[in-house]
Copies of this chain bind each other. A is one copy, B any other.
Amino acid sequence: MRKLSFDIRVPVIQAPMGGGNLTTPELVAAVSNSGGLGSLAAGYLSAREIEQATRKTRALTERPFAVNLFAPGSREPLSGDVGAQLRLLGPIHDRLGLDPPAMPDRVAGLFEEQVESVLAARIPVVSFTFGLLPEDVMNRLHGQGAFVIGTATTVAEAKMLEAAGVDAVVAQGSEAGAHRGTFDVPVEPPLVGAIALVPQIVDAIRLPVIASGGIMDGRGIVAAMALGASAVQMGTAFLTCHECGAAAAYKRAVLEAADDSTSLTRAFSGRWARGIRNRFMEASNRAGAEPLSYPWQNSLTGPMRAAASRKGETAFLSLFAGQGTRLARSMSAADLMQALEREIGDAITDVSSRAGSPTGRTAPA
């Protein structure tokens, strides 16, 4: 038990960052080539786009990598205040030179075609968020030897994933950037910090646990290991890497952010997500208009976000990021992976050296 059966030397998974082509084949391959596990975010991709991205990634690495999907249960019936959202977006579209915002008739569900594409490509590690996989999909993935990773934000969700047959569970702490993986119906979005969430999940299930949320360097990785995690998943740390497809303005915003500059919002996609506070989030809060449910809000704000990304207008971009922004670094993914590996060793040496001595009194200089 507690074994990640795919082959990695450094216990680091680059998180599948969903929107706007962030997880380029170059990023995914660089992480896998450096001894970690890269992840291609495929939740918004068509079967054809998945096929292309996995082919490009395989041209750059012979190592295993993961593909991430959204569970089909992530789609909700339309709710929220359509009129108010259109009024909020109208002037912004105008300013960005876009046609007036329009409510889509429907938002295509991609899950079935995504699964076929992932199966056809024989992806070795398949992770997913926002719920449980249908049983037949889980069986088909396992049937071809895939390692399947689910995402939990509470002990209850971790137990549901274990019961559904996943091979490992990502414990997503409240610090994590972008979407909360929450799928069990909560009183309010559960926001348990990683230092509390990870050991509680480790104690509650028998599977390997992958810690995520606010982990940015070797100190965070060793902390997660001490909490009982078998590996970590890091998003924000890779967001500012050269190979990541994020707009330069987005990367700059992350590199310049303070530790408490993020908030949770439903303004961009309809699902709760953590991002750096900006004008659109504030305008949405001020308007007081209920965002639409997912995927409707996501589809509605798509043109704004794409245009803002092209123009480097961070005011209207979803600046998804976790709470460790002050530790973000601008470097290549290979350099970051090397730094992490070195820092893991340093942090272990530091902690071990303080074990024999009265740790309360002699602390690192």
Interface residues of A (CB under 8 A from B): 1-5, 7-12, 36-37, 153-156, 173-175, 186-188, 190-197, 199-200, 203-204, 208, 213-217, 219-220, 222-228, 230-231, 258-260, 263, 277, 322-324, 326-327, 344-345, 347-348, 350-352, 354-355, 358-365
Contacts and interface: CB of A to CB of B under 8 A. Distances in A.
Contacts of A187: 263, 277
Nearest to A186: B260
Nearest to A236: B196
A352 to B, nearest CB: 5
A199 B225 contact: no
When all copies of this chain in the complex are counted, the total is 2
A339 to B, nearest CB: 14
Given A259-B154, A355-B344, A363-B208, A174 B193 contact: yes
A214 B361 CA distance: 22
A200 B364 contact: no
B222 A351 contact: yes
A175 B199 contact: no
A8 B361 contact: yes
28 contacts: A10-B360, A37-B360, A154-B260, A156-B258, A156-B260, A187-B263, A192-B214, A192-B259, A193-B214, A194-B194, A195-B324, A196-B327, A199-B216, A199-B219, A199-B324, A200-B259, A200-B324, A203-B327, A220-B226, A223-B223, A223-B224, A226-B226, A230-B359, A230-B364, A344-B355, A344-B359, A348-B351, A351-B351
Nearest to A217: B199
A361 B4 contact: yes
Residue from A197, A199, A226, A322 with most neighbouring chain B CB atoms (10 Å)? A226
A196 B219 contact: no
Nearest to A361: B4
Contacts of A173: 193, 195
Given A199-B327, A230-B364, 6 more contacts: A192-B260, A219-B227, A219-B228, A222-B351, A223-B227, A231-B360
Please provide the 10 A-B residue pairs with the shortest distance between their CB atoms, ordered closest to farther: A196-B214, A193-B193, A230-B363, A11-B360, A223-B223, A190-B260, A175-B193, A196-B323, A8-B360, A222-B226
Contacts of A219: 199, 226-228
A308 to B, nearest CB: 21
Given A193-B213, A193-B323, A225 B354 contact: yes
A195 B175 contact: yes
Contacts of A361: 3-5, 7-8
A251 B115 CA distance: 48
A164 B258 CA distance: 21
B196 A324 contact: yes
A259 B228 contact: no
Given A259-B154, A360-B8, A350 B196 contact: no
A350 B5 CA distance: 20
A158 to B, nearest CB: 9
A186 B261 CA distance: 10
Nearest to A222: B226
Contact of A223 (B195, B203, B208, B350): B195
A2 B231 CA distance: 29
